[in-house]
């Protein structure tokens, strides 16, 4: 299950909520991962350049799936936060089996 952490300049609650609601579907459409399996957080920051960062934590997948996820997430973030897509930086953090405790158990 991918977990996407978005950090960006402070936005209205409505704008941030719309992004959090839209991102799972955007990822699902690009990758085939079920939207309900995509978790999203949004953390605002108040200083600095108007840029957004997306940290995507996910289990190992085919490179084209990871690339599709990063691209879809970046475009969705840019659209909802009204940023040029060039101002969205997305990174994949591949989580190896046995290295995460979630849902009450070590994830394999």
For the segment 53-67, the average pLDDT, to the nearest whole number, is 96
> How far apart (Å, rounded) are the C-alpha atoms in residues 84 and 3?
23
pLDDT at 105: 94
Per-residue pLDDT at 87 exceeds 90: yes
DSSP assigned state of 35: G
Q: Which of 85, 83, 6 is nearest to 50 (CA)?
A: 83
Task: Give the pair of three-digit tokens for residue 63.
Answer: 């490179």
Give the model confidence (pLDDT) of 10-51 as tens digits: 888 999 999 999 999 999 999 999 999 999 999 999 887 899
Task: Give the pair of three-digit tokens for residue 20.
Answer: 């959090």
DSSP assigned state of 95: P
Q: Which residue has the higher pLDDT, 48 or 89?
A: 89
Domains in the chain (CATH in brackets) are 3-106 (3.30.429.10)
């Amino acid at each position: 299950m991918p977990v996407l952490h978005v950090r960006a300049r402070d936005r209205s609650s409505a704008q941030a909520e719309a992004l959090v609601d839209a991102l799972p579907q955007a990822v699902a459409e690009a990758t085939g991962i079920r939207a309900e399996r995509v978790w999203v957080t949004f953390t605002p920051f108040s200083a600095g350049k108007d840029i957004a960062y997306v940290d995507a934590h996910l289990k190992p997948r085919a490179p084209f799936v990871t690339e599709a996820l990063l691209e879809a997430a970046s475009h969705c973030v840019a659209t909802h936060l009204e940023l040029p897509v060039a101002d969205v930086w997305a990174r994949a953090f591949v989580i190896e089996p046995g290295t995460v405790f979630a849902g009450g158990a070590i994830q394999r």
